[in-house]
Structure 1
Amino acid sequence: MLIGRVKGTVVSTNKVNKLTGSKLLIVQPVDIETFEEKGEYVICIDDVGAGDGDIVMCAYGSSARQTDTSKKYASDYSIYGIVDYITIKEKQTYDKAKDDYGTAQKEKESCN
């Protein structure tokens, strides 16, 4: 399983038929304790309606094709959950209600 933050979308008009109608999102893996970005971006099939900035759970490899809807897709990555909060060793490392990622991004963009 991979935990990551949705960073953007991919639009592809021409693709294999099995991907028609699927939503493709760009996900940046994060460290689940510090939430620092790590590794390379991955492209995921969105199975749950995630949006920009959401922290998501992703399955990869053959596990990405194990849900009722994802088994029809030719993909190695699938988003199958949007994270509400994470607690490790009795310490909450993430809480969606307190996540100011979207606000910080908008402020950063307005400065440019």
Structure 2
Amino acid sequence: MTAAHPPVPTPVRILLCDDHAVVRAGLLALLGSEPDIEVVGEAGSGEEAVALATRLTPDVVLMDLQLGEGIDGVEATRRIVAGTESTHVLVLTTYDTDADITRAIEAGATGYLLKA
């Protein structure tokens, strides 16, 4: 008889989006060491996040709200949710005002985490 092995879980596929490379590097170092997480891409702008999410179809996008030039995280979230079937967006932000969070949730974000 052979012992049954539990199924190997499929890692959660994550796309990181933050306009600060050091933040992306920190998140990559933190998340990349987890066996059940696979970081499939990094984006430094909202436009890049939309393009990568469309191409890579991650399970989750960790999205900053304030992205500098171009579209912000709220608009990127709106486009990702509209353009993908199964990708969830989780907002990472230093802004914890109701207005910022409400805009992100209304755009389709699943939830948010503070960068504190």
TM range (shorter): under 0.3
Task: Give the TM-score normalised by structure 2.
Answer: 0.24
Going by fraction, where is helix more abundant, 1 or 2?
2
Going by fraction, where is strand more abundant, 1 or 2?
1
